[in-house]
Amino acid sequence: MSNPPFFHEASSAVRFWVDVDGALIGASVSSATLHYRFRPGDRGEDPLETYKTHARDIDAAVRRRVAQGSIEPVMLREFDLRAAAA
């Protein structure tokens, strides 16, 4: 069982873990990336709630990055999440 996702205030990022072929991979996505990708018109949104709402797409982006050779911790960029929508 993985640890729950949480907002890391010092880095202004949501940190979370994704099961990739039975291994838990640590990952993060910045609050700015979450905002610009998923809620560009909103103000004052909660990054952790945005992550939870879009966790399936975000976790899939981590799996794609690992499949492409990224190592832990995976730090998602806006580009990684745009690829999910394509």
Structural domains of the chain in order of their starting residue, each with its CATH number: 6-85 (3.30.160.140)
pTM to 2 decimals?
0.89
Report CA-CA distances (Å) from 2 to 15, 26, 31, 67: 12, 10, 21, 20
Angle subtended at Cα 64 by Cα 62 and Cα 66, rounded to the nearest 5 degrees: 70
The pLDDT tens digits for 7-34 are 999 999 999 999 999 999 999 999 999 9
Mean pLDDT of 51-57: 95
pLDDT digits (tens, 9 = 90+) for 62-78: 999 999 999 999 999 98
